[in-house]
Amino acid sequence: MKTLNDRYHYGLELFLLSIDEGITGYRDDSLETVKRNQRQYDIPLKILSYDELYGWTMDAIVAQVGKKNNCTFCGVFRRQALDRGAAILNVDHIVTGHNADDIAETVLMNIMRGDIARLGRCTSICTQGEDTIKRSKPFKYAYEKEIVMYAYFKKLDYFSTECIYSPDAYRGHARAFLKDLEAARPSAIIDIIHSGEAFEVKEDIKATQKAQQVCKRCGYMSSNELCKACTLLEGLERGMANAAITDRARKKLDADGPVPDNLRTIPFFYMPPGLRSSSYIPVEAPP
Amino acid sequence: MSCGNPTDAEAVMQRRPKHDKTKICVRCKVARGNLVIRHAVYCKDCFFPLVTHRFRRALEPSVNSKPDGPRRTALKPSGNLLLGYSGGLGSAVLLDLVHRCYIAFDRSTMQTDGGRDHPRHERVWKKVTVCYVEVCDAFPGMKDRSAEIAEIVARYEDFEFISLRIQDAFNRTWWEKVGGIPISSYLGVSLAKEDLVLTSHSSPSTPLESLHTYLSSLPTPTAVSSSIQTLTRLLLLHTALQTASSHLLLGTSLTSLAISLISGISQGAGFNVREEIQEEWAPDGTEENSARPRGKRRVRIVRPLRDVGAKECAAWLWWRGLSVVGLDRRHASGASLGIGELTKDFITGLEKDYPSTVSTIVRTCGKLAPKGDVAGLCVLCERPAQAGVQLWKARTAIREPVFQDTPDRGEPDAPLNSPPSLAPHLCYACHATLTSRRGTSRVEQPSVPLPVWTSVSPILEMEYARGKGTALPPPGMARMAEQEMKAVVQEFLLDDE
């Protein structure tokens, strides 16, 4: 982005935004790389941590929930953290480094867990919701291998280590499966992306999906009264971490009584002025 | 630890309990359960009505010409019935269920209300034919099982039996026997480049030789497996037309359906997810010269076991004392695994720890519809092909330009002097089957024979006639010399240091 912005005078004001999940031995090391990148590219850097946003680090979450469902917490918290970090920086566009392998994995995961809403939009290069900042994945069609080769030959300073908590069984299975598919036929990754672009959710199913609303506690977009992050955080704070993961645990949490007054909550989310769009806009891939 | 097992108990997923609450059957609430189906316990007596109910619920709304909701009226199909039988688990259960429900009228498979003359006791299909496609000739060392299969089918009264061989897909005699348009000239294809130049295949070899040439020219084991599936499907469909069948039933279980859906999506067949679940097929529009009876040229493919998992199928066979003939192809062929086999291993492995995943996959895919315009039928698999496939490929990958697209496919105009090409007339998945490689090069055949139905495809005949001229790129898209190309991308090239 830096090279293209300079070479073609895009006129973009670039910022680096990094989320610190609080994983000792993984994120603390990678943040050192990020800080070097800041100096190398001379771009302002904002590091936003789970600890300052949610009051919990992933190390603390794993200590409470174990290694079984921790990716659920991390994924939900990171998505919000990126939007909140972008709002703090007052930017109007977030660009992430998701590659073709990531997209193909997401297509498979969304089918296997029945997440119709995300399945319908996960292959769009650009997405923008009414209450979220525009996001793009410019490496959507670039294989992980190609990106690694580019970084290697260009001698880029990058960090490449698997998260120490990543052996979450379900996603781990899907990732290993995708690697097997790629070994059997390298085009499998782009073929899955093509499949993801070639179908859509039926109109009658779309009509039954919950309307987007705003979380009554933190102001972030949500399909329920409480957003997923607030539900997860409430479960953590009240010592019932599975509350947002299973229906049974959620009922148990509700039966446990009303929300305590002193419950820690996520700061209220305000969209930067001038960034609100009129509706959800999935920007399509090439036809 | 030498075995590599993690010592930390938390690092491994805890096994979920096999059943949720009780060991008593959830249906009759009296007997002790014999089988756990997705966390619910059933006794043997309740198991049979459960499977029969799911079978009827999946099939009967599709029997009448106009599909509707749960049936309340008489079943009146517009033709006969063809059963696809492979000798495997699902198709063995299918054969048994169809015979019990619609031929033998086994009272245990019916509702108890209504008298002896109730319409449900009338025969639904006048003629029921079982069709088996023997694939042993595609895999060296595989045993021919057609005699065993014939013996099994003969145990059921009132089933007619047709046995085909996979090489019939290249057999002119079979094609004309099933009422196909007579073949005037054979078409072949060169698999050397992605545009898949059409050739005239003037001296047809035997069907078996053609099959071997076709399969050995395919670039990956995935392509071999998926081609055999496609050939088998088309052999069954054309046989359905020959037998004036309005319905083709396949014994695809819930597990097999989840496997074929994920496998298809992994091979780029996302546009055909709907057809993978239920399909309405008619041969490519213009069959005016066909010997087939008019008005009976549509076949509905139904998978009535789509709500019954492989485990339930196995229990059905075990308790009914039935046997399975089919054998896993990979053991016979010894070939490396393709996407289909990898998906099968993945889904069956996942089903053990997450029994609901298979059903979630099928339910999720049932909520999907194809996106974008249809550009006719793919000439190879005869399923709807998405418009603009070649343009999509050209935009998303660094590859040779394909010039031969036609306006019908949602692509740019084809120049008159470009070579005849198969690529624009294929769906994405079939194009990937013929072109997607794994690095190792194969011996390129100058001309690979195509299945018989492609040789009579009017659109391919037109394409072949159009492209007999010299191959030249269209105006404004002249091929560039290597140095010219290098000059264009110079500023993006990496340093050699």
Torsion sign over Cα A146, A151, A152, A153: positive
Residue B244 near residue B79 (C-beta atoms within 8 A)? yes
> From CA B180, how far away is CA A226, in angstroms rounded?
62
Which residues lie closer than 8 Å to B285 by C-beta, 6 or more apart? none
List beta partners, residue A45: A16
Q: For chain B, what is the mean pLDDT?
A: 83
Encode chain A (287 residues) as per-residue pLDDT tens digits.
999 999 999 999 999 999 999 999 888 888 999 999 999 999 999 999 999 999 999 999 999 888 777 888 998 999 999 999 999 999 999 999 999 999 999 999 999 989 998 898 888 888 876 667 899 999 999 999 999 999 999 999 988 877 888 766 577 788 899 999 999 999 999 999 999 999 999 999 988 888 888 899 998 888 888 899 999 999 898 887 776 666 666 777 777 777 777 788 888 888 777 665 544 444 444 43
Distances (CA, A) of B228 to A52, A231, A278, B426, B465: 58, 50, 50, 17, 29
Residue of A69, A146, A199 to mutate when probing chain B, most B C-beta within 10 A: A199
**How many angstroms away from the CA of A196 is the closest CA of chain B?**
6
Which residues lie closer than 8 Å to A169 by C-beta, 6 or more apart? A68, B13, B353
Q: What are phi and psi of A147, to 5 degrees?
A: -70, -40
Domains of chain B listed by start with CATH number: 13-42 (no CATH), 43-466 (3.40.50.620)
pLDDT of residue B117: 63
Residue B389 near residue B295 (C-beta atoms within 8 A)? no
Residues in A lying within 8 Å of B, measured between beta carbons: 66-68, 107-108, 110-114, 116, 119, 141, 153-154, 167, 169-170, 173, 177, 180-181, 184-188, 190-192, 194-203, 205, 285-287
Report the pLDDT averaged over residues B395-422.
60
For the ranges B130-134, B301-305, B477-481, the lowest mean pLDDT is seen at B477-481
> From CA B79, how far away is CA B19, in angstroms rounded?
44
If phi > 0 it is left, if psi is from -120 to 50 it is alpha, else beta; for residue B114 that is left
Which residues lie closer than 8 Å to B143 by C-beta, 6 or more apart? B136, B327, B332
* Collapsed DSSP state (helix, strand, coil) of residue B124: coil
Pairing of strands B368-370, A126-128: unpaired
A100 interaction partners in chain B (CB closer than 8 Å): none
DSSP 8-state class, residue A223: S
Residue of B371, B389, B442, B494 to mutate when probing chain A, most A C-beta within 10 A: B371
- CA-nearest residue of chain B to A179? B342
For the ranges B91-95, B190-194, B211-215, B400-404, the lowest mean pLDDT is seen at B400-404
Q: Which amino acid is at B257?
A: L
Contact B268 A192 (CB under 8 A): yes
* Collapsed DSSP state (helix, strand, coil) of residue A104: helix
**How many angstroms away from the CA of A197 is the closest CA of chain B?**
8
B336 interaction partners in chain A (CB closer than 8 Å): 184
In this prediction, residue B307 has a pLDDT band, given cuts at 50, 70 and 90, of very high
- Count of other CB atoms within 10 angstroms of residue B9: 8
Partner residue opposite A184 with nearest CB, options B262, B338, B391:
B338
Residue B290 near residue B127 (C-beta atoms within 8 A)? no
Residue B280 near residue B380 (C-beta atoms within 8 A)? no
Residue of B396, B398, B433, B496 to mutate when probing chain A, most A C-beta within 10 A: B396
Which residues lie closer than 8 Å to B352 by C-beta, 6 or more apart? none
Q: What are phi and psi of B411, to 5 degrees?
A: -120, 175
> From CA B282, how far away is CA B297, in angstroms rounded?
6
Torsion sign over Cα A165, A60, A237, A51: negative
- CA-nearest residue of chain A to B266? A192
- CA-nearest residue of chain A to B220? A185
Q: Residue A88 corresponds to which tokens in the numbers above?
A: 């703090």
Closest by CA to B98, choosing from B136, B66, B135, B124, is B124
Contact A286 B14 (CB under 8 A): no
Partner residue opposite A66 with nearest CB, options B10, B368, B388:
B10
B351 interaction partners in chain A (CB closer than 8 Å): none
> From CA A141, how far away is CA B71, in angstroms rounded?
47
- CA-nearest residue of chain A to B386? A198
Contact B270 A195 (CB under 8 A): yes
Q: What are phi and psi of B383, to 5 degrees?
A: -110, 160
Closest by CA to B314, choosing from B35, B79, B127, B10, is B35
